[in-house]
Amino acid sequence: MKINLISDTVTKPTPEMLEFMMNAEVGDDVFKHDPTVNHLEEKVSKLFGKEAALFFPSGTMANQTAIKIHTQPSEQLICDKWAHVYNFEGGGASFNSGVSCALIDGNRGMFTANQVREKINDPNNYHLAKTSLVTIENTTNKGGGACWDINELKRIKSVCQEHSLAFHLDGARLFNALVAKGETPEQYGELFDTISVCMSKGLGAPIGSLLIGSKEHIAKALRLRKLFGGAMRQVGYLAAAITYALDNHVDRLAEDHKRAKALGEALENSFLIKKVEQIETNIVIFYVADGVDENEFVNKLAEKDILLISMGEGKLRMVTHLNFTDVMLDKTVQEIGELRL
């Protein structure tokens, strides 16, 4: 039994999802003739109470498209110092959009409206880059699956409106936040100009993200997706997987969160572990005790067929997901308890 806790992207389609995919009606999506993609885009835009949505092959491309929509070269976006758009998209903000990032020193990937206000450049000072976009992440990836307080997001939205800034949500794991906090997609649709969501993470589809926004923004996104090389043909097979995931895999995210908490307890009980970060969703971040070699910890568990990753500086990560069952949880808890280096 291989137990893979490296990421929630390691899931494989369930037999039911595969069957649903195989039965999809498809067409050429570059001509907008794929009925399954069209259905999905309409379903997702309605879900968020927005006008339109567009299928993307990756979350990175959806985020990069959003940044390009909201900025002009030389301008600046504001994000957390741990933001995916800044750290893990290959420097794309500067390459694709020619923008710089003003980084906020946030708490677990989150920040306050006041911290945003402090980062906005004076638009009358032509020495400074023009601030044009604020982007946030929910849940935060590097922040350990933390969920924002929606009231803080409302305050940030007001700051954006005051200063005519666009507001983008990198919602790669937004559904985890919605399930954890009992919130709805519409609440987020109201707050943001554009939202990206990943379907290949906790929701268990093999590929795909969507960008959601106004008709005008999504018309621009369609052109940019072509420019970035992301216009595809009979993509309905993939869209079907996402439709299936939305209908069947959202509520069950609560199980991933419960199992993540159980992993956290097991880690807290181990003398090899110094600290476990607060667990709100499906990401468990923890630190090995002083004198414990993190690579040895990872390797010893790998010998027991349990995989996790090291994030450097003594920080380790486990992520629960669709293919991580209770039987696997029991085995992992047992192995953590018995682990000796």
Ligand X SMILES: *Cc1c(COP(=O)(O)O)cnc(C)c1O
Looking at residue 96, what DSSP letter applies? H
Looking at residue 193, what DSSP letter applies? S
User: Binding mask 70-99 vs ligand X (x if CB under 6 A, - otherwise)?
Assistant: --------------x---------------
Of 59-67, 100-108, 288-296, 328-336, the segment contacting ligand X by CB under 6 A is 59-67
Whole-angstrom CA distances from 90 to 86, 121, 225, 227 are 8, 25, 17, 18
Which tokens in the block code for residue 54?
A: 């567009």
- The count of C-alpha atoms lying within 13 angstroms of the C-alpha of 210, restricted to the half-sphere facing its C-beta, is 29
We find the least distance from the C-beta atom of residue 137 to ligand X, in angstroms, to be: 5
Q: Binding residue for ligand X (CB under 6 A) from 170, 256, 277, 294?
A: 170
We find the least distance from the C-beta atom of residue 200 to ligand X, in angstroms, to be: 6
Which of 60, 270 has the CB closer to ligand X?
A: 60
Crossing angle of helices 59-70 and 215-227, in 10° steps, is 120
Would you count residue 41 as binding ligand X (CB under 6 A)?
A: no
User: Binding mask 136-155 vs ligand X (x if CB under 6 A, - otherwise)?
Assistant: -x---x--------------
Q: Binding residue for ligand X (CB under 6 A) from 209, 234, 282, 320?
A: 209
Q: Which amino acid is at 215?
A: K
The answer to whether residues 65 and 229 touch, using CB atoms and an 8 Å cutoff, is no
Name the one residue in this structure whose structure tokens are 């976006």: 77
- Comparing C-alpha atoms, which of 4, 1, 10, 2 is closest to residue 204? 10
Helix (H), strand (E) at residue 58: none
Interface with ligand X (CB under 6 A), residue total 11
Radius of gyration of the chain (CA): 21
We find the least distance from the C-beta atom of residue 203 to ligand X, in angstroms, to be: 12
Of 52-60, 152-160, 212-220, 241-249, the segment contacting ligand X by CB under 6 A is 52-60
Which of 144, 288 has the CB closer to ligand X?
A: 144
Which of 36, 196 has the CB closer to ligand X?
A: 196
- CA–CA separation, 256 and 197 (whole Å): 18
- Comparing C-alpha atoms, which of 207, 147, 151, 144 is closest to residue 171? 147
Of 56-64, 154-162, 180-188, 226-234, the segment contacting ligand X by CB under 6 A is 56-64
We find the least distance from the C-beta atom of residue 250 to ligand X, in angstroms, to be: 17
- Comparing C-alpha atoms, which of 109, 167, 105 is closest to residue 140? 109
We find the least distance from the C-beta atom of residue 252 to ligand X, in angstroms, to be: 19
Residues that bind ligand X (CB under 6 A): 58-60, 63, 84, 137, 141, 170, 172, 198, 209
